[in-house]
Structure 1
Amino acid sequence: MAKKYDFLFKLLLIGDSGVGKTCLIIRFAEDNFNSTYISTIGIDFKVKTIEVDGKKVKLQVWDTAGQERFKTITTAYYRGAMGIILVYDITDEKSFENIQNWMKSIKENASAGVSRMLLGNKCDIEAKRKVSKEMGEKLAKDHGIRFFETSAKSSINVEEVGKSILLKSNYRLNRHQRQTTLELRKANRCRKGLR
């Protein structure tokens, strides 16, 4: 069976339990929202194929459990991820504070140079906001990553997030492929010069 895509990208969503990772993934992959999801146990994923720059890209978006008891399971999925999206709930200050722990987990478990992005989810609940947009922007700037406020319920910025991290990951992949090609050409020239 012929493959129906040009590239396969693995994205990983991490963050505390209850910040809306599952809802974001379902909104992104299926354009659907249901407020009665139960907490993810271990890990799950959804697939979506999108077109970027004339190429079909198959996205595997992995949904990790945010509870401490599942951390040893989920850290194994960091390897091979081309993009990691950190999610906090704008109505839950503790989930924002814990982003530093999730950053540390990425540093310890993910491949070097993996694309990262920070999301402040549930921005449709402005009346219960505990984390300002400026706080999220500053944290993202401190780590040199992009920042979005999203709402899985209202579908605010969900599509933009997927495309943004995909473009960043694709740029890094293309840069790596160009560098590898140049190194191979250089090695071939050296071999020919030695003959």
Structure 2
Amino acid sequence: MIFKFIIVGAMGTGKSSLLHRFTEDKFYTDCPHTIGVEFATKTIEVMNERIKIQIWDTAGQERFRAITRSYFRSSVCTFLVYDVNSRKTFNQLNGWLNDSRNLTNPNSIIVLVGNKIDLENRVVSREEGEEFASENDLFYIETSAKTGEFVENAFTLAAKEVYKLVKAGTLKLTNNQEEDSVDIGGGKTKKGGCC
């Protein structure tokens, strides 16, 4: 099975760093801002089944918002990321949340991620994050892409929740997710078999 995850949030929240930490277990101190979309995969085991997670890391700049919106389609999980050291990124969450709710399957899950907990100039409390998550029926976790703290947990827990929904029949995967294929630029590439 393939699960498509999308990472959204304001510029500078550490979305790309979360992607790199989870897929490569690396942190780049000089990580440039994403232009458009970045993509990576990682295969994990969930309840004795191999799951390939496709992660689409989107640009946080407003000028790329239209491009970003097109990547919500067929995602089964949205990581809604803010920087716990930036009130501005927290205040912008509603716009990203509305995009996720309007553009994804209504049964897909949304995980609110408070990132950069390793820094000491925190301005958004854990309680504020938990309250926003509770009010909006979101999962909530805090992470540090720099140290790796809770990054693996965030993706694994999200994959387990998606897996439960898929097995219960509540969340349907698109054909390309079931067939272990990826649609990039209009063409379909399948793994294995012929044709």
TM > 0.5: yes
Report the 3-state secondary structure (helix = DSSP H, G, I; strand = E; otherwise coil) of the residue aligned with 2:169: helix
The one-letter code of the counterpart of 1:29 is T
Which among 25, 28, 45 is matched to residue 31 of structure 1? 25
CA-based RMSD of the aligned residues comes to 1.4
Number of the residue aligned with 2:6: 12
Instruction: Give 2:123's aligned residue.
Output: 130
Alignment of 1:1-195 (within 5 A): 7-125=1-119, 127-176=120-169
Regions of 4+ moved over 6 Å? none
Deviation, 1:178, is: 10
* Higher mean displacement: 27-36 or 169-178: 169-178
Could you say which residue in structure 1 is the equivalent of 2:186? none
**Superimposed CA distance per residue, residues 76-126 of structure 1 (whole angstroms, 9 cap, x where no aligned partner):** 11010010010000111010011111111112211212111000000000x
Unaligned runs of 5+ residues in structure 2 are 173-195
* TM norm structure 1: 0.85
Q: Structure 1: give runs of 5+ residues left out of the alignment.
A: 1-6, 180-195
CA distance in 1, matches of 2:79, 2:7: 5
Identity percentage of aligned residues: 36
Residue 175 of structure 1: CA displacement?
A: 1.2
Q: Aligned to 1:58, what secondary structure does the other structure show? A: strand
- Which one has the bigger strand percentage? 2
Which structure would you say has the larger Rg?
1
Q: Quick check: 2:144–2:150 contact (8 Å CA) kept in 1?
A: yes
Aligned residue for 1:128, secondary structure, equals coil
User: How many residues end up aligned between the 2 structures?
Assistant: 172
Q: Note the C-alpha offset of 1:173.
A: 0.9
The Cα shift of 1:150 comes to 0.3
